[in-house]
Amino acid sequence: MRRRRKLDDDPAATLEDVARAAGVSVATVSRALNFPDLVREATKARVAEAIEKTRYTPHFAARALATNRTHTVGAIIPTLNNAIFARGVNAFEETLRGRGFTLLLSVSNYDAATEHLNALRMIERGVDAVMLIGIDHGAETLARLSAANTPLVCTWSHAPDHPAPTVGFDNHAAMAPVVAHLIAHGHRRIAMLAGITEGNDRARARVAGVRDALRQSGLSLAALREVRYGVEEAAAAATALLCEEAPTAIICGNDVIAHGALFAAHRLGHDVPGAVSIVGFDDLPLSAAMPPGLTTVRVPAARMGRLAAEHLVSQIEGTIAPSRALPTELVVRGTTGPARPQKA
Amino acid sequence: MRRRRKLDDDPAATLEDVARAAGVSVATVSRALNFPDLVREATKARVAEAIEKTRYTPHFAARALATNRTHTVGAIIPTLNNAIFARGVNAFEETLRGRGFTLLLSVSNYDAATEHLNALRMIERGVDAVMLIGIDHGAETLARLSAANTPLVCTWSHAPDHPAPTVGFDNHAAMAPVVAHLIAHGHRRIAMLAGITEGNDRARARVAGVRDALRQSGLSLAALREVRYGVEEAAAAATALLCEEAPTAIICGNDVIAHGALFAAHRLGHDVPGAVSIVGFDDLPLSAAMPPGLTTVRVPAARMGRLAAEHLVSQIEGTIAPSRALPTELVVRGTTGPARPQKA
DNA sequence: ACACCAAATGTAAGCGCTTACATTTGCGAA
DNA sequence: TTCGCAAATGTAAGCGCTTACATTTGGTGT
C-alpha cells in the first residue's frame, strides 16, 4: 500500500524501527512501553535509547485499532458562548487530561438533530465515553450510544431515575430559595424570563420550580417569557416585560438573561432593586463584580465538570459509579431588595 | 487476537459483514462509501440496504490507520474560562464540523510545558492540523509539529514574518486608538493593568503598543502592573493601582481585568469615568450591557475562529493559505471620559 | 554439574479499513 | 454473433500496533 505520509518527507518511525534499532522484537518494545515490569532493566534501557534515537512517536490509530480503546472522550454541549458551560468544559478537560484522556468537543446549539449527528460522529471516532448536558436527549441518540456500549454521563441536571447516570443539580429545587427570598421581601408580582424550554430540561425545571414554589405560597407567575440566550435578546424581552407587566421582580433563566434584564431596566430608567428586583442563575464571575452585584443561584460548574470526568473514567474502568447530586446556593447581592409599594 | 469489544455484547458490524450481507466484496462496499461514482447504482442500493440491516458504523481508527488521515483537528488554548476564547473556539468548532472535521480540544493554562505536552498528545492522535493561540510557543513544540508535518495556524496575533501562518490581529497597533482617545480627553496619567506578559505575546504587544503610542505623544506609562486573568485578582491589583498611583485612566489587558478594575473603583467610591477612565480589550457581550458600558477594543473572536478553521482546512487540502490580518476597533462607551482636573 | 521452572523474549495473527492490481462484466462496433 | 475496451468488481497486501502462544534464557535447588 501507499504510505501517504502527511507530505513527502521521511516516514515517521514505527515500532519496528525501534525494535531494529534496539535489537529486540516489536513485542518487546511494545511491552517495554505498556508493561514495563515485564521486561528486563537492561532491555528497557536499550529500548528507551532506540526510541530516543528514532524519535519514535506511538501511532494512536494503530493502537486504537488493536486495543479498541481510544483514550478519548467526547463532550457535546449546547454552546461555548455561555461562560458557564465553558467553565464546566474547562474543568472537565483538565481532569480528563490528568487521567490520560483527550477531549473531543462539539457544540449542538441547543439543537437535538445536531446533537445526534455529533454523537454519531463521536461513536465513529470510538470515544471511550460521552458527556452530555441535561437529560433531554433523542431516544435514537441514547440508543446508538448504548448500542456502541459507550459510557455516558449527563450533567447539569439531576435525575436519579434517568436511564443514564447524572452528575448535576436539581434545577427545580434550586428555585425554591429564590422564590422564598423574593416573597420575604414582599414581592407578589413576580415574572420570569426563562430560557427556551423546548428540548431543554433545565430551563423547564427552573420554570416549574418557580411555579411550584409560588403555588406553595398561594401565588402564581405574573408573566412568563422565553428568550434565546444572549444579552441583547434578553434585554429586548425584558423591556417588553417591564413595560407590559410591571412586575416587581424578575427571575431569569440564567445570568446572561439577567444581565440583559439589568441592561433593559437601566435603559428604561428603572432602579434596581428599587423599582424591580432581578435574579439570575449560574453565578458567573462577572455577576459578583458588576455593581450592585447580581443576586443569583450559584452553580458548581467547575466541580461538576471535574466530577463528571471522574465519573466517566470510573465507568470506563468498569466501576459502576452512582449518579451524583450537587448543591446549588442562593447568593443574595444587590439586585434584589424590598418590593416597591404596589399601587393597588 | 481478542475482540475486546467495549463490554461483552455482539461485536459491531464490520465492512466484511456488510459485504457478506450485500453479496459483494469489501472493496466494493468501501468504494460505495468513499467513491460512490465508481459503483453501479444497483450495487450501491444493495450496499445501502446491507448497511442499514447490519447497523454498520465505520470504524474510524481503522480508516485512520489505512489512510493516515484522522479528520480531526486539535486546538490548544490558554483557558476556556475567558469568554473570549470560548467564543473563538465555538466558531472554530462549528466551521470545522461543517467541513467534516472533529475538534480535539485542550487547555494549557498559559503554561508552555503543558502546551507542549498537549501538542505531543495531539500529534500522537494524528490530528490533521493544529490551532494555537498567539505566537509564543516553545521551539521544541513547533519542531515536533513540523516534524509530524502537521499544518498549523496561530491565532489572536498577526505576525507576517512568523514561521507559522497566523490568522489574527495586531495587538500592538490595536492600542494606538485607545491611547489617542484617552489623550484627546486630556488624560496624562495613564496606567496599565496588563495580563501576565511572560510567554504571552499578546499581553506583551498590548503593553508595547500602549508604550509606543504614549511615547509618540511625549508621554509614558504612569504605572504598569501585571495580573493573572480573573476578576478578583484584577480588582485587587486595580485597588492598589488606584490608591498608590492615582492614574486618571487605566488601560486594561482585557475586559475581564477591566471589569475587575471597575469593581475596584466602585468599592473605593471612585466615579467612573468622573474620577478615573477605564478601557478594556475584547468587547465581551456583557461589556456592552453593563452600565455605563465598557469602552474597549472589539476583537473579532468568532470570525477569527471561523477563518482559522478555514485556513487549516485549506492547508490540509494542500493549498497554501496566506496569513491573515483582521481588524480591531475601538468601541467608546461610558467608562471613559474627560480626565479629572489634576492637582498640579 | 544438572534438571527445572519462572522470567524474558520472540513469532505471528489479527484489529477494520483502503487501494494497487488483477479479473470479470457489459455493451457498442464491426 | 463476436471482439474489444471501459466500467465494475474482486483479491489481497498492507497501515502500526497488541497480545496469545511458543521459545529461549538464566537463576535455583540438590
Q: For B5, name the nearest residue in chain A, comparing CA atoms only.
A: A68
Residue A263: φ, ψ to 5°: -60, -45
Give the angle A24-A26-A32 at the CA atoms, nearest 5°. Answer: 80
Measured between alpha carbons, how far is residue B93 from residues A277, B67, B75 in Å? 38, 23, 9
**pTM of the model as a whole:** 0.93
pLDDT digits (tens, 9 = 90+) for B135-150: 999 999 999 999 888 9
Gap between the Cα atoms of B45 and B29, Å rounded:
11
Judged by DSSP in three states, A70 sits in coil
Measured between alpha carbons, how far is residue B39 from residues A243, A271, B44, B67, B133 in Å? 65, 70, 6, 20, 44
Protein CA at A59 to nucleotide C1' at C16, angstroms? 16
- Pairing type for strands B324-326 and B166-169 reads parallel
User: Which residue blocks in B131-278 are alpha helix, DSSP H?
Assistant: 139-147, 171-184, 201-216, 231-245, 255-268
pLDDT digits (tens, 9 = 90+) for B7-31: 445 678 899 999 999 999 999 999 9
Tell me if A209 sits within 8 A of A197, measured CB to CB.
no
| CA dihedral (A282, A284, A290, A291) positive or negative | positive
Chain A residues with CB inside 8 Å of B106's CB? 93, 97, 102-103
**Closest by Cα among B4, B87, B56 to B254:** B87
Gap between the Cα atoms of A22 and A71, Å rounded:
28
Cβ of B342 near strand D (under 7 Å)? The reply is no
When pLDDT is averaged across residues A72-100 and rounded to a whole number, the result is 97
Q: Answer yes or no: is pLDDT of A28 > 90.
A: yes
A102 vs B125: CB contact, 8 Å cut-off? Answer: yes
Exposed/middle/buried for B100, CB within 10 Å: 0-12, 13-18, 19+? Answer: exposed
Measured between alpha carbons, how far is residue B328 from residues A49, B81, B207, B325 in Å? 50, 22, 16, 10
pLDDT digits (tens, 9 = 90+) for A240-257: 999 999 999 999 999 999
Tell me if B300 sits within 8 A of B324, measured CB to CB.
no
pLDDT digits (tens, 9 = 90+) for B181-230: 999 999 999 999 999 999 999 999 999 999 999 999 999 999 999 999 78
Exposed/middle/buried for B3, CB within 10 Å: 0-12, 13-18, 19+? Answer: exposed
Based on its alpha-carbon atoms, the radius of gyration of chain B, rounded to whole angstroms, reads 26
pLDDT of residue B319: 87
Residues 31 through 70 of chain B touching chain A, CB cutoff 8 Å = 55, 57-62, 64-70
Question: Residue B318 — very low, low, confident or very high, per pLDDT cuts 50/70/90?
Answer: confident
Nucleotide with C1' nearest the B30 CA: C18
- Pairing type for strands B102-107 and A190-195 reads unpaired
- Pairing type for strands A152-155 and B152-155 reads unpaired
Tell me if B38 sits within 8 A of A178, measured CB to CB.
no
B87 vs A80: CB contact, 8 Å cut-off? Answer: yes
Helices (H) and strands (E) in chain A, counts: 13, 12
Nucleotides of D under 7 A from a protein CB: 7-20
A124 vs B291: CB contact, 8 Å cut-off? Answer: no
Measure A124 CA to nearest chain B CA, in Å. Answer: 6
Chain A residues with CB inside 8 Å of B93's CB? 80, 105-107
Q: Does B107 touch chain A (CB under 8 A)?
A: yes
Q: What share of chain A is helix, strand, coil (3-state, %, to 5)?
A: 45, 15, 40
Measure B264 CA to nearest chain A CA, in Å. Answer: 9
CB nearest to A289's CB, from B4, B55, B231: B231
pLDDT digits (tens, 9 = 90+) for B156-175: 999 999 999 999 999 999 99
For the ranges A9-13, B64-68, B109-113, B181-185, the lowest mean pLDDT is seen at A9-13
Residue A103, H or E segment: strand A102-107
Chain B residues with CB inside 8 Å of A104's CB? 72, 102-105
When pLDDT is averaged across residues A54-83 and rounded to a whole number, the result is 94
Residue A88: φ, ψ to 5°: -60, -45
Cβ of B25 near strand D (under 7 Å)? The reply is yes
Angle in degrees, 0-180, between the axes of helices B255-268 and B231-245, rounded to the nearest 10: 50
Residue A318: φ, ψ to 5°: 95, -5
pLDDT of residue A10: 64
pLDDT digits (tens, 9 = 90+) for B234-246: 999 999 999 999 9
Q: For A289, name the nearest residue in chain B, comparing CA atoms only.
A: B263
Gap between the Cα atoms of B52 and A324, Å rounded:
37
A104 vs B72: CB contact, 8 Å cut-off? Answer: yes
Q: Answer yes or no: is pLDDT of A229 > 50.
A: yes
CB nearest to A263's CB, from B55, B66, B289: B289
Residues 208 through 267 of chain A touching chain B, CB cutoff 8 Å = 230-232, 235, 256, 259-260, 262-263, 266
Cβ of B39 near strand D (under 7 Å)? The reply is yes
pLDDT averaged over every residue in chain A: 93
Nucleotide with C1' nearest the A30 CA: D18
Write the DSSP assignment of A159-185 as a string of letters: -TTSSS-EEEE-HHHHHHHHHHHHHHT
Gap between the Cα atoms of B59 and B64, Å rounded:
9
B256 vs A285: CB contact, 8 Å cut-off? Answer: yes
Other CB atoms closer than 10 Å to residue A139's CB: what's the count? 8
Nucleotide with C1' nearest the A1 CA: D14
Residue A162: φ, ψ to 5°: -70, 145
Q: Does B268 touch chain A (CB under 8 A)?
A: no
